[in-house]
Amino acid sequence: MMAVQYVYVMDELSKTYAGGKQVLKDIKLSFLPGVKIGIVGVNGSGKSTLLKIMAGVDKDYQGEAWAADGIRVGYLEQEPELNVDKDVRGNVMEAVAEQQTMLERYNELAMNYTDETADEMAALQDQIDAQNLWDLDSRIEQAMDALRCPPPDAAVANLSGGEKRRVALCRLLLEAPDILLLDEPTNHLDAETVAWLQHHLTAFAGTVILVTHDRYFLDQITG
């Protein structure tokens, strides 16, 4: 029988804050690829702390917590940070920088085609086809519109907390890591946007670990 390949494992994980408050004790969890799990509990019970540990943000804990080799972990925190040196679109584009570079290189080769670069161009085309990148710009615009992001050229420094979360969520979803860690993702979203997010996460092939007070949303994603 083939061994089960977990994407993330915690073993005897504990967390105690300065002052002696313990919020996590001897946690043993293993996550399979593609599962969608909600973390529930009263305020202060360690839900957000657990996500921070999984994201690698909080390293001050006892026990073990690790993602499998090659597994990419993405994290939406409650107060995400954006690059203030870039506008809204610049922050969103960070998620697809590698893919954008690939497309730009392909277009450059296509405009200056030679026999010497034919193999490189063919290899790039195979990668672009495999990742379905020909409509990348359209997908970016659709995601920004669906999440009601601020104007693409808006300065990040002028955004409200809710607007920053929309931009950060858009960037994370476009990045499409293997594991999505979402801390209250529906905060500051209207009903239409929540419905779009619900549909997106339901169709998402990766693993979703979710903290939310929206019980209906939680049931739809994890049910």
In this prediction, residue 112 carries a pLDDT of 86
For 46-65, give one letter per residue: b (16+ CB within 10 A) or e. bbbbbbbbbbeeeeebebeb
Q: Which amino acid is at 139?
A: R
In a domain, 25, yes or no: yes
Residue 160 belongs to a domain: no
Can you spell out the DSSP letters for 144-209? HHHTTPPPTT-BGGG--HHHHHHHHHHHHHHH--SEEEEESTTTT--HHHHHHHHHHHHH--SEEE
Residue 17 sits in a domain whose CATH number is 3.40.50.300
| Per-residue pLDDT at 4 exceeds 70 | no
Residue 93 lies in a domain: no
Tell whether 79 is covered by a domain.
Answer: no
Q: Per the domain annotation, does 102 fall within a domain?
A: no
Q: Which two tokens stand for residue 160?
A: 């409200």
Q: How do 62-67 and 8-16 pair as beta strands?
A: antiparallel
% residues pLDDT > 70 (the chain): 98
Q: Is residue 109 part of a domain?
A: no
Q: How many domains does the chain have?
A: 1
**pLDDT tens digit sequence for 64-90:** 999 999 999 999 999 999 999 999 999
Position 24 in a domain: yes
- Quick one: which H or E segment has residue 54? helix 47-55
Which range marks the domain in which residue 15 is found? Answer: 1-72+179-191+207-223
Q: What is the pLDDT of residues 208-222, one digit of tens each?
A: 999 999 999 999 999
Task: Identify the residue with better confidence: 90 or 42.
Answer: 90
Helix (H, G, I), strand (E, B) or coil at 99: helix
Residue 178: how many other CB atoms lie within 10 Å: 18
- The more confidently predicted of residues 132 and 209 is 209
Q: Which of 204, 211, 101, 84 is nearest to 154 (CA)?
A: 84
Contact 61, 101 (CB under 8 A): no
Residue 111 lies in a domain: no
